[in-house]
Amino acid sequence: MKTVETIKELRANIKQAKRKGKKIGFVPTMGFLHEGHLSLMRKARLETDVVVASIFVNPTQFGPNEDFEAYPRDMQRDALMTEECGVDYLFTPSVEEIYPENYVTYVDVEGDITRQLCGKNRPGHFRGVTTVVSKLLNIVTPDYAYFGKKDAQQVAVIDKMVRDLNIDVGIVPCPIIRDHDGLALSSRNTYLSSEQRKEAKILSQSLFEAEKLIYQRKLDSKKIKEFLIDRISSAKNAIIDYVEIVNGKNLNQVNEISGGVLIALAVKFGKTRLIDNIGVEL
C-alpha cells in the first residue's frame, strides 16, 4: 500500500493504472476506521483492480457548533487497517490540499432530499458532503465508489448528485455493520460513556422491532413512529432528534407504509449524536 498526500501524485498513479485498463474502486472515509469502513474496502478489493481509500475529516460538512476539532483521528492505526484490507492507495490530503486559499465552489443538492432528516438540524452538512465527494470523485475518477448505508441519507444524496451532474461512477451502497448488541458501528461511538453505550443499543433494537411490526402489516407510519419514540425514550439519557419513516428513494415522508421505506432516526446521548436506520421492503 502506498500512502499519498497530494492530488498530483494520486492522479499520476491512477492514470497509469487506467491506461492498463484497470478498474478503480474508491472508499472515501473520515478515518478512525471500524469494521463498517473495512467492509467497504474488502468489497472494493473483491470487485475492482485498484482500490483507493481516502481519509479526510472534511471541515465543510461540520456545522460551527459541531465536533470537527474533536472528531477522533488515528492515522497510524488507520493505515495498518487499510493495508490489511488490501487497499492499494491511501489518500490522506491536508485541509489545504482540498480547500486551498480562496476556495469558493460548492455543489448543492436542493429540495427535500437534503432538507429532511439530518438536513433539518445540520444545515449545510450535505452541501459539505456533496462538495467534497464531487471533488474526490473528480480526483480519483473511480469506476465504483462504496458507501455505508448507516448514512442512508448521505447515500441517497450522493446518488442524486452523481445522476444529476452526470458523474460517470457507480455508487455502491453497502450494509450497516453492527456491534454484538446491534449498535451500528460509528467513529462517534467512541464518545459514549459506558452507561450511554449500554443504553444506545435501544436504537437498533427498536428499529428491528418496528421492522417486525411492519411485516405484521402495521402500516400506519404515525403509529410506528410513536412506538419507536416510546421505546427509545425508555433510555433515560436519550434525546430524540428525529424518528422518520420515508420513501426509500426520494426520502419523502410516508403516511401509509408500502413499497420500500426507510425508517431513520437520530438520537443524542449527552453530546453524542448517533444515527441508525433500517430499510423495509413490503
Are residues 274 and 240 in contact, defined by beta-carbon separation less than 8 angstroms? no
Are residues 48 and 25 in contact, defined by beta-carbon separation less than 8 angstroms? yes
CB of 178 to its own copies, least distance (A): 32
Encoded amino acid at 258, one letter: S
CB of 160 to its own copies, least distance (A): 7
Choose the catalytic residue: 34, 37, 125, 180.
37
71: cell is: 472528531
List contacts with its own copies (CB under 8 A): 7, 11, 102-111, 113, 130, 134-135, 138-139, 141, 160-161, 164-168, 250
Question: Could you give the CA distance from residue 73 to residue 32 in angstroms, rounded to a whole number?
Answer: 5
Helix (H) or strand (E) holding 18: helix 7-19
131: cell is: 462538495
CB of 173 to its own copies, least distance (A): 19
CB of 18 to its own copies, least distance (A): 9
Pick 117 or 238: Cβ nearer its own copies: 117
Pick 35 or 110: Cβ nearer its own copies: 110
Pick 166 or 216: Cβ nearer its own copies: 166
Helix or strand or coil: residue 55?
A: strand
Pick 127 or 150: Cβ nearer its own copies: 127
Specify the pairing of strand 260-269 against strand 238-247.
Answer: antiparallel
CB of 182 to its own copies, least distance (A): 34
Question: Could you give the CA distance from residue 225 to residue 114 in angstroms, rounded to a whole number?
Answer: 21
Give the CA-trace dihedral at 194, 35, 146, 115, to 10 degrees.
Answer: -10
267: cell is: 438520537
In the sheet where 260-269 sits, what is the strand order?
A: 238-247, 260-269, 272-281
Helix (H) or strand (E) holding 263: strand 260-269
Does the annotation count 37 as an active-site position? yes
Pick 69 or 168: Cβ nearer its own copies: 168
> Catalytic residue numbers?
37
